[in-house]
Structure 1
C-alpha cells in the first residue's frame, strides 16, 4: 500500500474528502515551493502535487504555463527540485506526488527516475502524456515499488478507454472536469457529477476532480460526488505574487485560501 493509498484510507475512515493542492516547483523560487508545501500540509492537504516544469506542458492553462516558463528561465534543474522536495517530505503530514512529463522520466530511465523520486520522499506521479496503451510497463514498475501512478480521464474519454485507465491507475484517478486546459473558471460543466458517478461504479479507486476548481462554491458542489478536489491555478497565481510581496504574507494567504476550500469540502 502506497502513502497515497494510506492517505485516502485514513480520509475514508474519517468520512472526509481530500484537498490536493498543486504548486509549480521553483516558481517563484524553490524556497517558496518548500514553504508552500509545509503550509499546505499544515492546513490539512491530503496530498500535495508538485508540477515539474517542462517546456511543452500538456493541457496546462496560461497561469501554470507561465509559471513553468518562469521556473525554466531560472534554469532550475530536476535534481534541485528533488533536493527541495526531499528537504520537506520527512516532516510533511501528507504524501507528495509530482505532475511530470513522461519525456523526463524516459530521459532518465523509469527505474532511475523512481530511484530519485523515492529517495526524495515522493509517493507517486501524474503523467499526463503517458498513453494508457503505453503505460503497462511503467505501471508494473510503479506497482512493484508501491509508487502511485495517477492517470487522467477526461469528459471526452470513451467508457472503454476509461476502464483501461482505471485498470492501470493506482493511488487515485484524476478526473479532468472540462474538455480543455487548466485555469480558474466561474462555472463548471453540469455533467461532472454524472460522469464521476459512472467512474465510481466501475472501480473502488478514489476519484479526485481537477481543472477549473477555484472557489469554495465549486468544492461544495462536487464534494458528494468525488473523493477529493485538485486545485492548481488559483494557488499558483497566489504564490507568484511572492515576486513583489513579502513571502510570509503570500504563504499565509495561500494557507487561508486552503482553509476556505477545506471548510467547503469537509465543513
Structure 2
C-alpha cells in the first residue's frame, strides 16, 4: 500500500520544496476550534497534519503545549473525540492526518480497535513518541493490516542498531528529534539533527522529517537543506493561543514560505 504521508512528501519534493508538517493539540481551546485550526493549517501551507490528543502526563512536551493539553482535558476531551476530529478534518481538507499519541491510551482503547477507528475516520497513521519498534509488534501488525503509517522517533543518542530497527519499521517518515529533551523553540537548531539525518540515510531512510525546536521560516529552510520535512508545533500553538485562527493562518503561511529549496 502506498503511504499517503510519503506521497505528500514526494509531491512537495516534485514542486522543488521540502514538506511542512504542522502539529496542533486536539481539543484546544475547544474541540470545534481545534478542528477549524487544523483545517486552517492545511489551507495555509501544511503538507501533513500532526494532531495530538491531550494526555495527562505529556512527558515530551514543552510548556506551551502542556498548557494547551491541560485546557483541552479540563474542557472534557475524551479519547473518542480524536476520531470525530479526524473525520471532520479529512472531510474538509485533503491533507494526510497523523495522530501523535502516547502509547498508553492506544493500549487502553485496544490496538486493533484504535487502528480500525482511525482508518474509518480517514486518518493516515500514528506517530508514537514513547514506544520503540521492538515493543510494538501489535501495532506493527495492525498497521500492516490497515495500511496506516507507523512513524517512530530517532534521537541523536540512538545506537546504529536502534536506527536500523527504526528504519526497517517506520513508514511515511522517520521523526528525527533534533535535540534531546522537551519540545519548544530553540534559537539555534542542533547540528545533531544534521548528523542524525545523515546516519538515517546510511540505514536507507528515504523520508526524514526534523522536529523539536523549529519556530520560523529561516529555521524551516535550514532544516530542509538536509531533511525532507520540517515539523513545527510550539510556534503554531502559541499563534493559535494568542491570535486565534487568523494568527495561526498567518504563522503557517510564513513558515511555509521557508520550504522552497534554494529560497535563501
TM-score (norm 1): 0.93
Counterpart residue number, 1:246:
none
Structure 2 equivalent of residue 216 of structure 1 = 217
Where does residue 59 of structure 2 map in the other structure?
58
Q: CA RMSD in A?
A: 1.4
Partner residue in 1 for 2:150: 149
How far does residue 9 in structure 1 lie from its aligned partner after superposition? Answer: 2.6
Which of the numbers 230, 244, 258 marks the counterpart of 2:252? Answer: 258
Q: How many residue pairs are counted as aligned between the two chains? A: 260
Deviation string 1:26-63 (CA, Å, 9 cap, x unpaired) is 11011211111111111121110000111111311111
| Structure 1 residue 78 displacement after superposition | 1.7
Query: Where does structure 2 lack aligned partners over 5 or more consecutive residues?
Result: none
CA-CA distance at 1:131 after TM superposition: 2.3
Give secondary structure in 2 for the equivalent of 1:19: strand
Displacement of 1:97 in angstroms is 0.6
- Distance between the aligned counterparts of 1:260 and 1:44, measured in 2? 9
Asked if 2 retains the 8 angstrom alpha-carbon contact of 1:42 and 1:93, the reply is no
Task: Give per-residue Cα distances to partners, 1:117-145, cap 9 Å, x unaligned.
Answer: 11211111111111222123311220221
Report how far residue 12 of structure 1 moved. Answer: 2.9
CA contact (8 A) 1:171 1:205 kept: no
Instruction: Report SS of the residue matched to 1:183.
Output: coil
Q: Distance in 2 between matches of 1:13 and 1:265?
A: 12
Determine if contact 1:48/1:97 at 8 Å carries over to the other structure. Answer: yes
Q: Deviations over 1:92-124 (max 9, x none)?
A: 121111111111111111110011111211111
CA distance in 1, matches of 2:86, 2:230: 22
Give the whole-Å Cα distance in 1 for the aligned partners of 2:15 and 2:219.
22
Equivalent residues in 2 for 1:116-135, closer than 5 Å: 116-135=117-136
Q: Tell me, in whole angstroms, the C-alpha distance in 2 between the residues paired with 1:202 and 1:154.
A: 14
